[in-house]
A and B are shown apart, each in its own frame.
Chain A
């Protein structure tokens, strides 16, 4: 485990060092790429709570990522046009303030995760995968056919939302903000995994019958994990929307769900920093392979296939060896 801790520190250090170096040499595009990686990492860490620790293979986390994104898009677009979202039973105005947007993004995605989880967790295994995928697609088709917020074209926001005391339009400041959130989320997940709840969640993954026998209801533990996981992914969605100043139903598409799982697998399932390494690697590959060929996804698919077939445990597993202690 020692080696993994050192590796974790190294990964986080690199994620911080690359944009700082880019800032020093004034390459704002590299900072934007790093911010993209950090935001994907937050979403991946959120999914990893359900998928890695809880063993819940959700192929529908794009729903929460998209809800977070649209929470930002809807609030900011109303603030842009000075029209309230609704006037009854109380007046809700739009806002350009990130903390308020985050709060609503987290609340809305947690609520959606609670509802999807309550239904999906009645099943397990392949059923769970297919059902989460189907609910994710439900949101995708709903956003496409709902004309109020741009439908298929999505929503553009002209100016990035604000955070008290920061100039969020400066790439390095927005990166710092995202990085701080990643660190906070990593800290939260570390604490959660060490708590009684986290241990119960891991136990339910490893042996459901024994977990039940000691008096823990796996359904409730999993539902809580799924809800928290969806909330974290929703927060990442709001940040992602702010990074691009654009939201569209693509955030809801099942390719997004697939990519979130890819981050986890590339890095290592159930590893704390797995999604961070995976997301960084994904963004780097996307950028470099994308520069080499228009058909970069063929190569990416081949790499992914290689990792799944031959490098079980992902890259962190490859470097530090298979996990010996249980989590």
Chain B
């Protein structure tokens, strides 16, 4: 494995990581403020991707497609919060798991009914296609580099939102003591809807951005949802900083594991056996990472005791 290839894989891992962060940030916010575990977060990711693919197909504009993904996912999130999620805040986690599992079934089958089972495609905009030349003679896809930039920018904006704005103060207060901020005159149900829609919009944006690299299809949100769970277990539930660190760790571990493990096994095994052993172990690498973090810190890296 050459140096150039290694740098490329690290960048791929970073890109994967920041996209996971967009998913995990919403999940961890929703859990931190409302105490809700939302399995349907992957469905909002899918809604964003389908909205983007539809709008891009109709108008040809990638920017409009991104705006549509944000809008559609936020709208779907707010709607779901107002009709279903709202009734789940006081319930135990089992009810939340089941109700949001039911929402996944409804979202997935509803999307299949509307759009059919065939995947849609979302094209990378011309301005972002092709490679970009980096130092040391590395050519890297411009779009993937843009994803890293967008992801980091959204992360920075989210940190500013939470640490500097009035909404951010209310969110942090909500994590601290729900009854107290309601008593202080904050309209808590409006805040909940807003936080849920914000988390949904982030998921939708991630769906649209990833949709341009992969295909847009029913069920695309679920693998990402589960990885986002691994991320927030590693980072610590409720911590945005933990979500960022966890997402990048998971992104790097997964990508580098897939690239490096077959090569490493190749040093001691025959090529064919090394490929399959390396691929099998690589598919488990992030879960092994999660188990290791749990043994050392059961509440995650940045979780509260």
CB of B275 to closest CB in A, whole Å: 9
Of A125, A126, A300, A305, which one neighbours B103 at CB under 8 angstroms?
Answer: A305
Contacts of B106 in A (CB 8 A): 297-298, 301-302, 305
Is B94 in contact with A269, judged by CB distance below 8 angstroms? yes
Q: Answer whether residue A308 sits at the interface, using C-beta atoms and an 8 A cutoff.
A: yes
Q: Answer whether residue A135 sits at the interface, using C-beta atoms and an 8 A cutoff.
A: yes
Q: Answer whether residue A262 sits at the interface, using C-beta atoms and an 8 A cutoff.
A: yes
Say what secondary structure dominates the interface of chain A: helix
CA distance A127 to B282 in the complex (A): 23
Size range of the chain B interface in the assembly? 35 or more
Contacts of A265 in B (CB 8 A): 94, 98
Is B103 in contact with A142, judged by CB distance below 8 angstroms? no
A134-B233 in contact given A141-B283, A145-B280, A146-B280 (Cβ < 8 Å):
yes
Question: A131-166 CB contact bits vs B (8 Å, 1 = yes)?
Answer: 101110110011011111000000000000000000
Contacts of B102 in A (CB 8 A): 301-302, 304-305, 308
Contacts of B93 in A (CB 8 A): 57, 125-126, 129
Q: Answer whether residue A169 sits at the interface, using C-beta atoms and an 8 A cutoff.
A: no
Q: From A57, which residue of chain B is reached at the shortest CB distance? A: B94
Which of A134, A147, A262, A312 gathers the greatest number of chain B CB atoms within 10 Å?
A134
Question: B269-302 CB contact bits vs A (8 Å, 1 = yes)?
Answer: 0000000100110111001001100110011100
CB of A281 to closest CB in B, whole Å: 15
Q: From A135, which residue of chain B is reached at the shortest CB distance? A: B287
Is B31 in contact with A126, judged by CB distance below 8 angstroms? yes
What are 12 A-B contacts defined by CB distance under 8 Å? A119-B295, A122-B295, A127-B300, A130-B230, A134-B226, A134-B290, A138-B283, A261-B94, A296-B109, A302-B102, A304-B105, A309-B84
A142-B280, A265-B98 provided; 8 other pairs, C-beta below 8 A?
A: A57-B97, A120-B294, A130-B230, A131-B233, A141-B283, A145-B276, A261-B94, A261-B98
Which residue numbers of B lie inside 8 Å of A, CB to CB?
31, 37, 84, 87, 93-95, 97-99, 101-106, 108-110, 112-113, 222, 226, 229-230, 232-233, 237, 276, 279-280, 282-284, 287, 290-291, 294-295, 298-300
